[in-house]
Amino acid sequence: MYLRCWFGEPPPSPSRRMLGASGESVVDSEERTRNNCNMTKIKLQLRKLVAIIICLVGTATIFAQEETGVVINGVMWATRNVDAVGTFAENSGSFGMFYQWNRKKTCPVGNVTDRDTTATWETVNDPSPNGWRVPTRAEFRKLIDTEKVDYEWIIENGVWGGRFIDKTTGKSIFLPAAPWQKFNGTLFSVDSTDNEDAYGYYWSSDDANGHNAYHLYFRKSSLRVYHSYYGFCFSIRPVKLSKEQTMVSEI
């Protein structure tokens, strides 16, 4: 019996209709073989298509996480908060996840029982995406320097918050008035999705006095860098690592 895959050739004429050992005609056998080959080719093409789709989805995810940043008063700020460890939130109005100071671990929904009391900031505990880091106290002070940065209280993506605008370039970033979470699990803030009297809290990487760390505090009519207890859970808006810091982090 002759077995082969047909690629467009016409089937044998009826005059060649010979019976094989199984009683099946050679023509029928070859037709069945051709159909099997075609099914195999279809399956291979489907597998290739699935692989391409998976690749495109993965690439889209990477692009979605790309963050170019905006320079405000000499500091490159991300346009989104930190979400899960090593990732950015979906958009500028998202609060992202809450973090204790000096903890590379998101705060649970509920009571926080394992608070960190270390008074020294450790870069290995930074939850920011690769190439970014928690800002310093000095960088927050540059952000709220009213001589070089304008401040507006606005609503963006359905959330109240502050827009910080570089007076020289006109470029800006928006920080949502994210609530903060106490170590007993209670969220403490006015709901910024429907109340313009909300306020936001964002960690810096600087210790204040061995029990508290500095953070940005802002609301409609107030901007300042204050300090609070390490165990509280705040949002994080990272800044870009310098070239020197990037080189060190990649070692």
CA distances from 65 to 4, 81, 233 (A): 50, 12, 23
**Residue 74 pLDDT > 70, yes or no?**
yes
Asked whether residue 225 carries a pLDDT value surpassing 90, the answer given is yes
The verdict on residue 125 lying in a domain is: yes
Tally of helices (H runs) and strands (E runs) in the chain: 3, 12
Q: Which of 63, 83, 116 is the last residue of a domain?
A: 63
180 or 207: which leads in pLDDT: 207
> Residue 199: which pLDDT band, with cuts at 50, 70 and 90?
confident
Tell me whether residue 11 is in a domain.
no
59 and 74 in a common domain: no
Range of the domain at 181: 70-249
Is residue 114 located within the same domain as residue 157?
yes
CA pair distance 146, 142, nearest whole angstrom:
9
Whether residue 153 is contained in a domain is answered as yes
Do residues 167 and 222 both lie within one domain?
Answer: yes
**151 and 57, same domain (yes or no):** no
Residues 131-139, mean pLDDT to the nearest whole number:
97
Dig out the tokens for 234 from the structure: 């705040």
Report which of 213, 201, 246 is spatially closest to residue 96, judged by C-alpha positions.
Answer: 201
Domain contains 12: no
Greater confidence (122 vs 44) lies with 122
**Looking at the predicted structure, is the pLDDT value of residue 83 above 50?**
yes
Q: At residue 124, what is the residue type?
A: V
* Average pLDDT along the chain: 79
Could you tell me if 53 and 167 lie in one domain? no
Both 148 and 231 in one domain: the answer is yes
Average pLDDT of span 67-79: 96
Do 57 and 169 share a domain, yes or no? no
Q: Is residue 237's pLDDT more than 90?
A: yes
Identify whether residues 45 and 169 lie together within a single domain: no
| Structure-model confidence comparison of residues 22 and 104, the more confident one | 104
Is 1 within a domain? no
Cβ(177)–Cβ(200) under 8 Å? yes
Domain assignment of residue 13, yes or no: no
pTM confidence score? 0.69
Highest mean pLDDT among 95-104, 111-120, 152-161, 163-172: 163-172
Last residue of a domain, one of 9, 36, 63: 63
Same domain? For 53 and 141 the reply is: no
Longest dimension (CA), the chain: 99
Does the structure show a pLDDT above 50 at 100? yes
What total number of domains does the chain contain? Answer: 2
CA dist 100 and 114 (Å) reads: 10
What per-residue confidence (pLDDT) applies to 18?
52
Q: How far is CA 11 from the centre of its chain?
A: 57
Structure token digits, residue 163: 């827009």
* Residue 10, domain member (yes or no): no
Which of 10, 29, 63 is the endpoint of a domain?
Answer: 63
Our measurement of the distance from residue 170's CA atom to the centroid of its chain's CA atoms, rounded to an integer in Å, reads 26
The mean pLDDT value for 208-226 works out to 94
Structure tokens belonging to residue 133: 């880091």
Does residue 176 share a domain with residue 59?
Answer: no
Confirm whether 79 is domain-assigned: yes
